[in-house]
Amino acid sequence: IQKLNANTQLFQFILGDKRYLQRGNNYPSYFVYIHTTMGYDSNIKSDRAEQRQRMIIIVSLVALAAACFLIVGVLRPDPIQKLNANKLQNGGLSDTRLKAAKALAEIKKAAAITDSKPEVLPVSQLRSVAGGAGDGTSAEAASSAAVAAGEANTREEQENIVAKRVADLTTEVRAIKKTSVIMETDEHSLEMTGKLQEATRELIKLRYGDAGSKNYRIRMDLEFQPTIPDFEERGKDATLLLELAPISLIPCSVFNFLEIARTWKNGAFHRNAGHVLQALARSDITQSMPFQEYSKEYPHKKGTVGYAGRPSGPEFYISIEDNTRNHGPGSQQKHNPYEADCIIGTIIEGMSDVVPRIHKMPGKEFIGDKKKWVLIRRMHILVPGDGPGSVDGYIEFSKSPLVLPE
């Protein structure tokens, strides 16, 4: 009875009732019965109490953990605010450094690949190319250089991988071309040329930057010799501006001419025909195109520039009349009705004055006398961009040496 405190009153009532005491032998059994029942009920209630206590402890721990997490989240600084603070501390150049690094990587790669070491934009102009952010301090310049070096290494590795893929695909496409299959309709040929074109687009963007919706351009510096009839009147210097075709149509032809311009050594217009002005091209590019890349969306109209020969290149010509029939699909051979000269781009400056002057070279067709040629002294690669020296939204990416080293 002492152990069952919750039922003490009940047992006192039972033990205090004489009627139950007078029952004799029945009392012990009756008492035991009550004792057992009351003890069982008490154990159940005790277990339930312990369960409730455990539950209260668990809920309390969960609530405590949630409170700690909330407090840490409130006290921890906002990462965006921290980034903005860093930008303010560093002069606001964080984003610009990244852009400058990319621009530097592109320009450094163009200069490192070629033996002729073309001139490129100075580092002081990189901020303008990347979006501009002021003069900066020497510490900022050193930091930008360090970022650029890491970016250049990564970009160089990526470019080397893509360049290797382009070289391998070019070898395969050349092998197909030698079989004399009509590549414009052969399923395997179309598959391989498509892969080559896609890889070449990627390589162009890595090496020369992404032009976006614009096209790359080439400026040619010409030199007329005293044999030209109007030399005394107009002098020796002139320029042509060539806008290359969209890489979405003919990336292999465009990339080939960018490489010609980047590694340009010397050349000259040496053929004065009735329909074209053809030029010699001396650069690191000595092979012809791997296949006759052509798009019906970019035909050989007057003012366009194409590669000479079948297979085409590296010599090129300016069409001084519509040459859709002379150099378009099915021309110059009977085996393949789809084959055409590879096309490069269109003359957008100099077509009305400089090109007619070239056409006045003394002599017709191929001119043997070099003193009568119109020399191509230099080639400049122009890419979309703003900054010092930009013209019509283009800046100079590189230029070939005016005088080649011995």
pLDDT digits (tens, 9 = 90+) for 160-204: 999 999 999 999 999 999 999 999 999 999 999 999 999 999 999
Non-local (6+) Cβ contacts of 402 within 8 A are 377, 378
Nearest to 151 by CA among 97, 232, 78, 191: 97
| Winning range, highest mean pLDDT, from 26-35, 47-56, 352-361 | 352-361
Give yes or no for residue 1 having a pLDDT over 70. no
Residue 7 CA to residue 306 CA, distance in Å, equals 111
Question: Which of the pair, 116 or 305, is modelled with greater confidence?
Answer: 305
Q: Considering the entire predicted model, what is its pTM?
A: 0.64
pLDDT digits (tens, 9 = 90+) for 79-138: 445 444 544 444 444 454 445 445 545 544 544 443 444 443 333 333 334 333 334 445
Give yes or no for residue 10 having a pLDDT over 80. no
Residues 371-397 have a mean pLDDT of 93
Residues 385-403 have a mean pLDDT of 88
Give yes or no for residue 154 having a pLDDT over 80. yes
Q: Report the SS3 class of residue 255.
A: helix
Residues 371-375 have a mean pLDDT of 96
DSSP 40-57: HHHHHHHHHHHHHHHHHH
pLDDT tier for residue 334 given thresholds of 50, 70 and 90: confident
- Give the mean pLDDT of the chain: 79
**pLDDT reported for residue 64:** 85
Which stretches of 296-337 are assigned E, i.e. beta strand?
A: 304-307, 316-319
Phi, psi of 159 (to 5 degrees): -65, -40
Give yes or no for residue 159 having a pLDDT over 80. yes
* Inter-residue long-range contacts of 43-46, CB under 8 Å, 24+ positions, other chains counted: 45/6
pLDDT tier for residue 150 given thresholds of 50, 70 and 90: low
Give the N- to C-terminal CA distance of the chain in Å, as an integer.
Answer: 119
Instruction: Name the percent of the chain lying above pLDDT 90.
Output: 55
Give yes or no for residue 71 having a pLDDT over 90. no
pLDDT tier for residue 148 given thresholds of 50, 70 and 90: low
Residue 398 CA to residue 107 CA, distance in Å, equals 8
Give yes or no for residue 279 having a pLDDT over 80. yes
**pLDDT reported for residue 369:** 95
Residues 277-287 have a mean pLDDT of 96
**pLDDT reported for residue 144:** 60
Give yes or no for residue 33 having a pLDDT over 70. no
Tell me which residue has tokens 């600084």.
77
Give the CA count within 13 Å in the CB-facing half-sphere of 203.
Answer: 23
Are residues 241 and 331 in contact, defined by beta-carbon separation less than 8 angstroms? no
**pLDDT reported for residue 106:** 55
Give yes or no for residue 247 having a pLDDT over 50. yes
Residues in the chain: 406
Question: Which of the pair, 231 or 21, is modelled with greater confidence?
Answer: 231
